[in-house]
Amino acid sequence: MSRPFGRHQKKTEGVWYKMIGFIRGVLAEKGSGYIIVDVNGVGYEIFVPANSHAYLSAEGSEVMVYTAMMVREDDVSLYGFMRRGELDAFKKLITVSGVGAKAAISILSSFTMEQLQQAIVFEDAKTLTKASGVGKKTAERIVLELKDKFSMEGVKADEMIPENPELLHGVQDARGEAVDALIALGYTRAEASAAMAGVKDQDLTAEEYIKLALKNLF
């Protein structure tokens, strides 16, 4: 049986191919669990964690996303991450028996990189079960198989990809403040980020973003 070209690693739910290392283009659309990046007129649909920093970027701005491509018999999907450390964590997670791409995305949607690494390093399987679709046995396998592959060292060194300076000091700041405010109100980071993804307006104040995001939460 023929196979696509590229380095690959066989998985129970499909094959991960390292053919597209990253995608740089214009953020054309943001949706629940995905973004579409326009590269010279071609729109790439990329599945991202619910708390991805991509949601803080304004539509029409330039973004760069690290990617992993999953190939199954009936589907080809791209998964994207704004930080290389998140991509590395994704790759490690899908090596665990019973953890597919969707489960890995769910885990990365539920925790920051620091929280995930801390849970694994300190063998806190209970915390990992808070992620949707991750049961006790799966969480224990993640800890058992990855505790030696994760370390707290490097968490601070895991930096975001440089983005448009205008975003860093403008729209992104306001959106980031709104997400933090929603978390302070008791929403999870995943819920807050997903609510913000539904706000298409740009150049608003943090207070205005919060009001619009709250409407998406009810």
Give the pLDDT score at 41.
94
Instruction: Please state the pTM of the whole predicted model.
Output: 0.65
Q: Rounded mean pLDDT of 124-149?
A: 91
Residue that terminates a domain, selected from 57, 81, 105:
81
Is it the case that residue 171 has pLDDT exceeding 60? Answer: no
Give the pLDDT score at 195.
78
Domain assignment present for 210: yes
Q: What is the pLDDT of residues 141-161, one digit of tens each?
A: 999 999 888 865 544 434 344
* 3-state helix/strand/coil string of 145-196: HHCCCCCCCCCCCCCECCCCHHHHHCHHHHHHHHHHHHHHCCCCHHHHHHHH
Q: What is the pLDDT of residues 65-97, one digit of tens each?
A: 999 998 877 788 999 999 888 999 999 999 999
CATH number where 74 lies: 2.40.50.140
Give the pLDDT score at 212.
86
Is the same domain home to 61 and 100? no
Is it the case that residue 169 has pLDDT exceeding 80? Answer: no
Domain assignment present for 202: yes
Per mean pLDDT, which range of 49-53, 55-59, 114-118, 150-154 is the poorest?
Answer: 150-154
Report the residue count for the chain: 218
Give the pLDDT score at 217.
78
CATH number where 125 lies: 1.10.150.20
Per mean pLDDT, which range of 7-16, 47-56, 79-88 is the poorest?
Answer: 7-16
Is the same domain home to 71 and 102? no
Q: What is the pLDDT of residues 117-126, one digit of tens each?
A: 888 988 889 9
Is the same domain home to 71 and 113? no
* Residue span of the structural domain in which 199 resides: 170-216
Give the pLDDT score at 166.
40
Domain assignment present for 158: no
Give the pLDDT score at 150.
81
Domain assignment present for 163: no
Domain assignment present for 2: no
Domain assignment present for 159: no
Is the same domain home to 66 and 88? no
Does residue 44 contact residue 77 with C-beta atoms inside 8 Å?
A: no
Structurally, the chain folds into a number of domains equal to 3
CATH number where 184 lies: 1.10.8
Domain assignment present for 25: yes
Is the same domain home to 188 and 203? yes
Distance CA 149, CA 177 (A): 33
Q: How confident is the model at residue 185 (pLDDT cuts 50, 70, 90)?
A: confident
Residues linked to residue 77 through DSSP beta bridges, in sequence order: 70
Residue that terminates a domain, selected from 54, 81, 108:
81
Domain assignment present for 66: yes
Is the same domain home to 12 and 76? yes
Kindly tell me the burial class for residue 196, based on how many C-beta atoms sit within 10 Å of its own C-beta (0-12, 13-18, 19 or more).
buried
Is the same domain home to 64 and 11? yes
Average model confidence (pLDDT) across the chain: 79
Is the same domain home to 107 and 46? no
Q: Rounded mean pLDDT of 32-43?
A: 93
Q: How confident is the model at residue 15 (pLDDT cuts 50, 70, 90)?
A: low
